[in-house]
Amino acid sequence: MTFQKEMNALDAAISQFGGAAEDQLAKALDALTRRDAVLAKDVVAGDRALDEMEAQIGRDTATMFARRQLMAGDLRTVLAIIKIASTIERVGDLAKNTARRSIILSESPPLRTVSAVARLGRETMVQFSDCLDAFAQREPEMALTVWCKDEELDNLYNGLQREIVHEMSENPAAVAENTQLLFIAKNMERIGDHATFVAEMAHYIVTGEQIGEKRPKGLPDGSPQTMQS
Q: What is the pLDDT of residues 132-183, one digit of tens each?
A: 999 999 999 999 999 999 999 999 999 999 999 999 999 999 999 999 999 9
Confidence of residue 229 (pLDDT cuts 50, 70, 90): very low
Checking if the pLDDT of 187 tops 60, the result is: yes
Checking if the pLDDT of 217 tops 80, the result is: no
What CATH architecture does domain 3-226 belong to? Up-down Bundle (1.20)
Q: For 142-151, what is each residue's pLDDT tens digit?
A: 999 999 999 9
Angstrom distances, CA of residue 45 to CA of 17, 103, 115, 146, 150: 16, 13, 25, 30, 30
Contact call for residues 203 and 147 (beta carbons, < 8 A): yes
Checking if the pLDDT of 219 tops 80, the result is: no
Confidence of residue 70 (pLDDT cuts 50, 70, 90): confident
4 CB-contact burial (10 Å; exposed 0-12 / middle 13-18 / buried 19+): exposed
Confidence of residue 213 (pLDDT cuts 50, 70, 90): low
Report the distance separating Cα 30 and Cα 70, nearest Å.
43
**What are the residues whose beta carbons fall under 8 Å from the beta carbon of 31, sequence distance 6 or more?**
37, 39, 40, 43, 99, 102, 103, 106
* Residue type present at position 49: A
The percent of residues in the chain predicted with pLDDT above 70, rounded, is: 92
Angstrom distances, CA of residue 207 to CA of 62, 201, 210: 24, 10, 8
Lowest-pLDDT range of 65-69, 86-90, 94-98, 142-146 = 65-69
Checking if the pLDDT of 196 tops 50, the result is: yes
Long-range contacts of 61-64 (CB under 8 A, 24+ apart): 61/10, 64/6, 64/10
The percent of residues in the chain predicted with pLDDT above 90, rounded, is: 83
pLDDT at res. 66: 86
- Sign, Cα dihedral of 111, 220, 200, 1: negative
